[in-house]
């Protein structure tokens, strides 16, 4: 998928992946790929700065954990992050509806 198509939606994607369980960075990348049926292959250089930005905004909290014998930073959604995710979903539905109404062929009367 074109990286430009993801611009502006990365925060929503990351918040959504972290909605049900804390994950470390690489597991987040794997979850994005799995949930997209392999279509999204987001580079670490995109994900980690976005995670730091979301943490600074108070939407994520992180802590160090040992995963498979390796020390990794694990991220989890905060209550503010859940609120932000709800707002992102609402905005996405509105956006998709508007774009869909333009792209879908109209029936003529």
**CA atoms of 96 and 105, how far apart (whole Å):** 15
The number of C-alpha atoms within 13 Å of 41 and in the hemisphere containing its C-beta is 4
Beta strands in the chain (DSSP E): 23-24, 60-67, 70-77
pLDDT-derived band at 2, boundaries 50, 70, 90? low
pLDDT over 70 (residue 24): yes
pLDDT computed for residue 52 by the predictor: 96
pLDDT over 90 (residue 59): yes
Higher pLDDT, 24 or 66: 24
Tens of pLDDT, residues 65-77? 887 888 999 999 9
């Amino acid at each position: 998928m074109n990286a430009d198509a993801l611009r502006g939606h990365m925060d929503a994607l990351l918040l959504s992946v972290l909605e049900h369980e804390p994950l470390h960075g690489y597991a987040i990348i794997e979850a994005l790929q799995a949930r997209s049926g392999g279509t999204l292959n987001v580079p670490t250089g995109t994900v980690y700065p976005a995670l730091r930005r979301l943490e600074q905004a108070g939407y994520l909290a992180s802590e160090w954990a040992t995963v498979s014998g390796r020390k990794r930073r694990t991220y989890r959604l905060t209550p503010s992050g859940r609120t932000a995710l709800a707002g992102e979903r609402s905005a996405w539905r509105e956006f998709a509806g508007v774009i869909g109404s333009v792209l879908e062929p109209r029936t003529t009367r």
